[in-house]
Amino acid sequence: MSRPLYRGFSGGGGGKDRCADEGRHYDPKEPSENGIGAGGCGTPARGRKRHLAAAAARIGVLVLAAAALVGSVAWAGSLYAGRGAAAAMAAASAHRGYRRLQEQLVTDLLDIGALAGGGLRSREAEACAAEYENHVPCYYNGSDAVDVSDLGGGVVISYERQCSREGRATCLVAPPRAYRTPVRWPSSKEFIWKDNVRISGHEFSSGSLFKRMMVEEDQISFPSDAHMSDGVEDYAHQIAEMIGLRNEFNFNEAGVRTVLDIECGFGTMGAHLFERDLLTMCIANYEASGSQVQITLERGIPALIGSFASKQLPYPYLSFDMVHCARCNIEWDKNDGIFLVEVDRLLRPGGYFVWTSSLHTHRALRDKENQKKWATIRDLANNLCWEILSQQEETIVWKKTNKRDCYSSRKSEPVLCARSHDPELPYYKPLNPCIAGTRSKRWIPIEHRTTWPSQARLNSTELDIHGVNSEVFGEDTSTWDSMVRNYWSLLSPLIFSDHPKRPGDEEPHPPFNMLRNVLDMNAHFGGFNAALLKSGKSVWVMNVVPINAPNYLPLIFDRGFIGVQHDWCEAFPTYPRTYDMVHADGFLSLEKRQKRRCSTLDIFLEVDRILRPEGWIIIRDTAPLIEAARSVAAQLRWDARILDLDIASDEKLLVCQKPFLKK
């Protein structure tokens, strides 16, 4: 095994140490051939040598490809010479098989060069300018943004997701100058480092965030009673009682596992419910500063940028057991109630919509405008076949119907969707004003579903709904159980140690885990997620299903996990430095089979953006693709090592660590 990768140690990808050894520094003004900065330590003469080497390598690939084809022709001629008819037929058959192997060799050689997206070039990427510290492509960003302080307190700007090739950064997004290694879970529930997130003084002067967190000299703390006036524990207990439960520890028994928290503040509700075996996904608009999503992820709670504007959220039909909105800025009465229709699309039958707002209090309803808004929302909910279970002070709990005949008995809009409408295609489609109805085989009330944690192990009947063979699913489960054990064996104590120790540090007090936020780029059935939980690791996983892969995202949600569908040629809807580890199994092979709309370098630059300094990348794929990926990793200054998984397998493991890039 290669020399180990330690946190804080810069190895194969560390250009900085090499420059120090050679007495050189990289020039950020020197452009690179592939559009990213040089970031290397070579002189112009050395750069020309690299270009010559790259050209020679490409010529070598072409020569090898040509030699392979010529060799196959010559070999075929030797087979045919002096042979009879039967022998000639056998030789022809052998020739066709051998020719296919040669053609595959040529294809693989050319694919490796294309996959690298310039990987033969040894130039390293340069760091982005300071204004890119919180750069989120596809959304309104800092360098061209207006000063939100000029707009006055309480103003909410909704940024619609709009992606283009021009909006992507082609450099490495460096952390702020005062950035520190994030506080580890579970301590991060209580406090985070202030300089790791973007906070301006305006948020505090307006008082809009003050009750949700306390800012000290170098940290932000989150008292458990800061989210609600009576404390988050009392609030969760109140919701449980309104549903008809004894307390919040009984949510799982009622079929509640996954929760969508709209404009979650800073994830205090999700942090509390996590201790009750509920998995909460926070979703909020892009915010230039004081971001709910950025701060929630810094605390170790699932979150994603998203908004109720004109497009559906990237979640499947019937994804969540509960949708929660506490004083969120959604105007549910607008646009013929289309935002409530979107909530209905996401809620499972029998699921709950919890809305806390001052709009429907006795005092607020003295105003005629508020009366009109409340009447509109109440009638819309009724037309969606939602039943009001309880109303206490500012909080209302609706229950989505679990009766199939309710929709046909309605006499008013919203209408049922046409049979041609496919509700399982959620990838940022325009909001649809119709109700998907009960046609889906997944339309099963939460009371009738297997409860957590047994929910993660789908039975054969549940798998049939998704068209998955139980033997295939069982084999996938066994494979990932074994793979996670192998990961621990191969990489511990480098990545997965429960008690990591950095040089000079005191022994940490258990329980302590250096991994919390994990992203799986090609989640398939969610097997990696299941194996991590089964092994007792205190992590959560963002299961990503690429748009060019089979869409098993509904199955992942039915297992009690969370995830999102995503096009990896676009930016992921999150802030920089939000994940401890990115995992990709078979992702390179998946991209190779598709018509490439972007290079591996483009995708890896995005991975680098969302990964925390000293974070880890684990890529499992075929040996040729892993070798090509390692050359791209070197451009990004990642410390990279290739590990053999099995002598009998052609797959290898690429383990990389992102360095702590200092400005």
Lowest mean pLDDT among 426-430, 464-468, 578-582: 426-430
Q: Which two tokens stand for residue 275?
A: 């201790």
613 vs 17, residue with greater confidence? 613
Sheet holding 214-215, edge to edge: 191-193, 219-221, 214-215
pLDDT at 58: 55
pLDDT one-digit tens code per residue, 157-184: 556 888 876 667 789 999 999 999 999 9
| DSSP per residue, 485-539 | HHHHHHHTTTSS-SS---TTPPPPPSS--S--EEEETT-TTTHHHHHHHHTT---
Q: Which two tokens stand for residue 624?
A: 């040729």
pLDDT one-digit tens code per residue, 136-160: 999 865 444 444 444 444 444 556 8
pLDDT at 232: 87
The mean per-residue pLDDT over the stretch 126-131 comes to 91
Specify whether the CB–CB gap between 126 and 26 falls below 8 A. yes
pLDDT at 412: 85
pLDDT one-digit tens code per residue, 53-67: 445 555 554 555 455
Going by C-alpha positions, the residue among 600, 659, 607, 653 that lies closest to residue 631 is 600
pLDDT at 59: 56
pLDDT at 423: 80
Residues with Cβ within 8 Å of 565's Cβ and at least 6 positions away in sequence, in order, are 314, 315, 316, 426, 427, 544, 545, 546, 547, 551, 553
Asked whether the predicted pLDDT for residue 30 surpasses 80, the reply is: no
- Give the pLDDT band (50/70/90) at residue 224: low
Please tell me the distance from the alpha carbon of residue 598 to that of residue 206, in angstroms, as a whole number: 43
The mean per-residue pLDDT over the stretch 11-27 comes to 37
The mean per-residue pLDDT over the stretch 415-427 comes to 83
pLDDT at 207: 33
Asked whether the predicted pLDDT for residue 11 surpasses 80, the reply is: no
Q: Which two tokens stand for residue 412?
A: 């008013």
pLDDT at 66: 53
pLDDT at 208: 34
Please tell me the distance from the alpha carbon of residue 412 to that of residue 78, in angstroms, as a whole number: 80
Q: Name the percent of the chain lying above pLDDT 90.
A: 55
CATH assignment of 460-497+512-658, given 3.40.1280.10, 3.40.50.2300, 3.40.50.150, 3.40.50.300? 3.40.50.150
163 vs 389, residue with greater confidence? 389
The answer to whether the bond into 175 is cis (omega within 30° of 0) is no
Q: Which two tokens stand for residue 366?
A: 């003295």
Asked whether the predicted pLDDT for residue 109 surpasses 60, the reply is: no
Please tell me the distance from the alpha carbon of residue 323 to that of residue 327, in angstroms, as a whole number: 13
Q: Do domains 181-447 and 460-497+512-658 have the same CATH topology?
A: yes
625 vs 17, residue with greater confidence? 625
Asked whether the predicted pLDDT for residue 293 surpasses 60, the reply is: yes
Going by C-alpha positions, the residue among 109, 77, 313, 289 that lies closest to residue 194 is 289
pLDDT at 123: 83
Out of 110-119, 406-415, 465-474, the most confident range is 465-474
The mean per-residue pLDDT over the stretch 555-578 comes to 96
Please tell me the distance from the alpha carbon of residue 471 to that of residue 476, in angstroms, as a whole number: 9
The mean per-residue pLDDT over the stretch 212-233 comes to 73
Lowest mean pLDDT among 114-118, 463-467, 638-642: 114-118
pLDDT at 445: 97
The mean per-residue pLDDT over the stretch 543-553 comes to 95
Asked whether the predicted pLDDT for residue 3 surpasses 70, the reply is: no
Asked whether the predicted pLDDT for residue 380 surpasses 60, the reply is: yes
Domain boundaries, the chain: 181-447, 460-497+512-658
- Give the pLDDT band (50/70/90) at residue 14: very low
pLDDT at 202: 53
Q: Chain-wide mean pLDDT for the chain?
A: 79
634 vs 230, residue with greater confidence? 634
Out of 28-37, 120-129, 328-337, 645-654, the most confident range is 328-337
pLDDT at 199: 85
The mean per-residue pLDDT over the stretch 613-618 comes to 94
Residues with Cβ within 8 Å of 166's Cβ and at least 6 positions away in sequence, in order, are none
pLDDT at 502: 55
pLDDT at 425: 74
- Third-level CATH fold of 181-447: Rossmann fold (3.40.50)
Burial of 304 (C-beta count, 10 Å sphere; 0-12/13-18/19+)? buried
